[in-house]
Amino acid sequence: MDSNLSIEAATELIQTTTANAGTFINDFLLIIILVGLMLFFMFMSGRRGVVSLTMAVYIGVSLYGLFPFKDVVLEATVGSPLASLALTAVMLISFTTVPYIVLNRVVVTDFLGRLGILFLLIVSFLLTAMLLASAYHILPIRDFYSFTPALDALFAPTEFFFWWFISPLVALFAMAK
């Protein structure tokens, strides 16, 4: 009887652990994919690209927030959250691309040298987290996509937005030679 009990307990433990691991993967698959894409881009663009992209994202998010015709552009998509999200993404990408091109030509990055691939991974994660936090607070993303409670707990609170927003800058500063 004790062996049946321990087999049932072991089976339940395995099922619970598997379910928890599956939930964790589902919750953070978006982050894992975005960090991977960001890491690939940063690895290919080098140190100059890392700094240029980080600064360009700050400029792009700021320009989007200050864009005086944002509401007029988004009003054209009334009733279509997907179109609204797409237009917002186009505006953000546009506002980020131009500064990235300019910065990539003028940034000199001899100051980044510590930690190598670990540096790229950390900055990739923090830049992705900043973009997700910005999506929560700037984009109409919740109309289109329902995030899990775990991601909501990390990125939805207004109190956390500032910390997610400055984290890539802090990482660049902390990892400079």
Q: What is the tens place of the pLDDT at every residue in 85-126?
A: 788 888 999 999 999 999 988 877 655 556 677 878 888 899
Percent of the chain with pLDDT over 90: 14
pLDDT (average), residues 126-149: 79
Is pLDDT of 132 > 50? yes
pLDDT (average), residues 74-83: 76
Assess contact for 114 and 171: CB atoms under 8 A: no
Instruction: Give the C-alpha separation, 34 to 127, whole Å.
Output: 10
Give this prediction's pTM. Answer: 0.74
Assess contact for 124 and 39: CB atoms under 8 A: yes
Q: What is the tens place of the pLDDT at every residue in 8-48?
A: 665 665 665 565 566 666 667 778 888 889 888 888 887 78
pLDDT (average), residues 116-139: 84
Assess contact for 123 and 172: CB atoms under 8 A: yes
Assess contact for 112 and 175: CB atoms under 8 A: yes
pLDDT of residue 82: 76
pLDDT (average), residues 143-153: 74
Residue 128's φ and ψ, nearest 5 degrees, are -65, -45
pLDDT of residue 93: 92
- Dihedral sign, CA of 163, 165, 171, 172? negative
Q: Which range, of 97-106, 131-140, 162-171, averages the lowest pLDDT?
A: 131-140
pLDDT (average), residues 139-161: 77
Q: Please state, as a whole number, how many other Cβ atoms lie within 10 Å of the Cβ of residue 114.
A: 11
pLDDT of residue 142: 72
Q: At what angle do helices 158-174 and 117-137 cross, to 10 degrees?
A: 160
Beta carbons within 8 Å of 88's beta carbon, 6+ residues apart: 64, 74, 138, 139, 140
pLDDT (average), residues 54-58: 90
**46 φψ region: left (φ > 0), alpha (ψ -120 to 50), beta (else):** left
